[in-house]
Structure 1
């Protein structure tokens, strides 16, 4: 939307109601007056969530502060009244001290009373902390609201629709304790369209499971050990905010044998293979469904075959859809990283070259910490043992081998 020539991006849920509310807020008055009971009842029937101010007068400083606050919260409609009968419809005590402010929602927590200073900033903070449901059902419509929210830290409950009745009450009660700090989300695991893909992404195969997620670029995950109760979720949330939890990383089982030219890396053997300080390691992070990865596979295998005899060098690959490691991050598939020997405490190098054997070989030759030569194929006669001829032969051999590899590849 363009307002006075200025581009405004819609930040809310991708729903008809959310978009209409946002447009009305941007094109109309920030706060609407409610003067009759009939108006109040109509509004209550139509709105999923709203804010109401109860004032002595519909003009003045209190009304101005409410109007300013409304500009800061695009996805909630604000109303005001000075009529005690109208206030009663909105569950405000007609005899309450004015100004009074409430937020009403059509969900588990229907009413939230505001008791802070009557300033735009404080009111906006109250609305921000209370406008979301206590627990958000994860759907295609709510996903943008969850992941684009300024509150990045999340607590997710993974459970089937049948089990949700048992565990959601505890999650809702816990959510009341962390307003403005954590977003609580329920993922219905047996929902094939949304719940199952989300469960697979987080590495959850069975429920119920409670998981904490940082929701930022790091995307760290932490699992709650033990029974899912109000007390355990409360302690888990507190430890999460205090940074006391150990992160969880997905991993396939470690292969029983790993003797191929391309070594198989999973989350649980990443340290042993990739972070081995005595090895230069080239790592491809791939996805089985990725077409570019499938095109690269024969080239990568051929590279590994020609470099198989170099003990200081490892050519490896990791399925990035089922394995994770903080040192093996991908921006897409395939991502190719190089970890020089003796420098594993530093970030790896991102390999951005033509996807050919020759280009990869040149890159490794240039960046490897440990110099190497291609191994002579079996059946080639040994070089002369004299010192003079050995020097000449090694030089010629290295040149010939590089040329042979480039010609052959």
Structure 2
């Protein structure tokens, strides 16, 4: 499909290229490639993800929009009225000329923005319809939306970068209701930090008035999101993901997918409380919140149960070497690993300096437990807990795990069998000559 799109676009002012990321590792890391295929589109050295379908027709249509005229001219009031009636979100530049440097900057900005259509005019009458003062200094720019906050006026330097930043900061509503459709707009926005309000529909009248008022105070700095908890389609899964379990309205701050730190607002949801909470969030004065199951009343099994609230006590105990499996209950690979993991723990349960543990990664979190997928296996050497753990990269057998632990354990150990077992072996196979010291008096490594 990609090659067919390249053929269809031959002769256009665009080049389609491909990179083998397994060969060009540094290039893949530079652009944070996480999966394959990843399709990036570059304009003047600035890249963005291709968001469309992976078919020839979809690729060709999207690229032609990108390389074609990014802005359209409005010359009459009638054209302006038709556009304002038909479109939900538009940008208008009120310029001195439909060509020249200002028009070029506006056109360049339009190529970097998929969700908003760009227009330009030199007509004071058209500018007035778009709520721009006909006597305003040019170039002027306005973003119009069919929402409560209808108008956003640009007051920065008239450059591509400044215009794009302005559109990104203002194209979303003051408060964004979380849906499948709005999720990409929220999480792909260059403003990564978010304030989320979780509430059931019956509570919205009580808490919602304060939320948009607070959002106005942090426009361009934070994204405000409303999650309707009794929406089974998205509300409940999102609440579960963020660990919001209380029934009443709850406000949570989130640093974004890359850092993924969360903070909880204690107390009632008021304009004053949300404002102070958001200020503390921006100033990095809040204490992160991590999900945790209840600490087990007993934890005497061969495999120790770790939750968010006992992670420090068990995993970060400097006197212990700790092997930790982070799993998901629904994960087939985790289920397949369980018998081997249990057998390993049974063999090693007599080693006082060693802990074999597991944690449900869907309901527990900790800043030292970075998960790339399930299961994730991490080894925390004793006396070294301030450093990153060692990722367990070995065959998933008892012997392979044992050899890995022996190699990386900070506290040396030897797995022993009871003397009676060794005596029985010697007597059975006759391998201990008369008068020679029996193997039972030493130690024998089972694995």
Q: CA deviation at 1:231?
A: 1.8
Contact (CA 8 Å) 1:31, 1:70: kept in 2 or not?
yes
Comparing 247-256 and 373-382, the one that deviates more: 373-382
1:125 and 2:165 are equivalent in the alignment: yes
Q: For the structure 1 residues 205 and 242, does the alpha-carbon distance in structure 2 shift closer, same or farther, using more than 3 Å as the test?
A: same
Question: 2:184, 2:52 → 1: CA distance?
Answer: 8
Q: For the structure 1 residues 130 and 364, does the alpha-carbon distance in structure 2 shift closer, same or farther, using more than 3 Å as the test?
A: same
Comparing 206-215 and 74-83, the one that deviates more: 74-83
Q: CA deviation at 1:25?
A: 4.4
Q: CA deviation at 1:213?
A: 0.8
* Correspondence for 2:250 among 195, 199, 209: 209
> Which structure 2 residue ranges, 5 or more long, are not aligned?
7-12, 18-39, 42-47, 54-58, 425-434
Contact (CA 8 Å) 2:254, 2:263: kept in 1 or not?
yes
Name the structure 2 match of 1:218: 259
Name the structure 1 match of 2:352: 311
1:324 and 2:365 are equivalent in the alignment: yes
Q: Counterparts in 2 of 1:6-405, with a 5 A limit?
A: 6=16, 9=41, 11=49, 25-206=65-246, 207-377=248-418, 380=421, 393=440, 395=442, 397-398=443-444, 401-402=445-446
Q: For the structure 1 residues 327 and 119, does the alpha-carbon distance in structure 2 shift closer, same or farther, using more than 3 Å as the test?
A: closer
Describe the superposition over 1:109-134 as per-residue Cα deviations: whole angstroms up to 9, x where unpaired.
10112233333333333222211221
Tell me how large the CA RMSD over aligned residues is.
2.8
Q: CA deviation at 1:41?
A: 1.7
Contact (CA 8 Å) 1:338, 1:348: kept in 2 or not?
yes
Q: For the structure 1 residues 150 and 389, does the alpha-carbon distance in structure 2 shift closer, same or farther, using more than 3 Å as the test?
A: farther
Contact (CA 8 Å) 2:106, 2:160: kept in 1 or not?
yes
Higher relative contact order (CA 8 A, sep 6+): 1
> Which structure 1 residue ranges, 5 or more long, are not aligned?
none
Describe the superposition over 1:299-351 as per-residue Cα deviations: whole angstroms up to 9, x where unpaired.
11111111111111111111010011111221111111111111111111111
Q: For the structure 1 residues 21 and 226, does the alpha-carbon distance in structure 2 shift closer, same or farther, using more than 3 Å as the test?
A: farther
Comparing 141-150 and 190-199, the one that deviates more: 141-150
Question: 2:130, 2:64 → 1: CA distance?
Answer: 21
Contact (CA 8 Å) 1:51, 1:77: kept in 2 or not?
yes
Q: For the structure 1 residues 117 and 299, does the alpha-carbon distance in structure 2 shift closer, same or farther, using more than 3 Å as the test?
A: closer
Q: CA deviation at 1:54?
A: 2.1
Three-state SS of the structure 1 residue aligned to 2:209 is helix
1:5 and 2:25 are equivalent in the alignment: no
Comparing 307-316 and 145-154, the one that deviates more: 145-154
Three-state SS of the structure 2 residue aligned to 1:317 is strand
Question: 1:330, 1:120 → 2: CA distance?
Answer: 38
Describe the superposition over 1:118-166 as per-residue Cα deviations: whole angstroms up to 9, x where unpaired.
3333333322221122122211122222222222211111112232333
Three-state SS of the structure 1 residue aligned to 2:147 is coil
Three-state SS of the structure 1 residue aligned to 2:119 is strand
Contact (CA 8 Å) 2:419, 2:440: kept in 1 or not?
no
Contact (CA 8 Å) 2:168, 2:190: kept in 1 or not?
no
Question: 1:389, 1:135 → 2: CA distance?
Answer: 83
Three-state SS of the structure 1 residue aligned to 2:81 is helix
Contact (CA 8 Å) 1:21, 1:76: kept in 2 or not?
no
Q: For the structure 1 residues 69 and 237, does the alpha-carbon distance in structure 2 shift closer, same or farther, using more than 3 Å as the test?
A: same
Question: 1:240, 1:141 → 2: CA distance?
Answer: 27
Three-state SS of the structure 2 residue aligned to 1:315 is strand
Q: For the structure 1 residues 190 and 132, does the alpha-carbon distance in structure 2 shift closer, same or farther, using more than 3 Å as the test?
A: same
Q: CA deviation at 1:380?
A: 4.1
Contact (CA 8 Å) 2:319, 2:382: kept in 1 or not?
yes
Contact (CA 8 Å) 1:281, 1:341: kept in 2 or not?
yes
Q: CA deviation at 1:264?
A: 0.6
Question: Structure 1 length as normaliser, TM-score?
Answer: 0.87
Contact (CA 8 Å) 1:299, 1:357: kept in 2 or not?
yes
Question: Structure 2 length as normaliser, TM-score?
Answer: 0.80
Q: CA deviation at 1:24?
A: 6.9
Question: 2:158, 2:322 → 1: CA distance?
Answer: 60
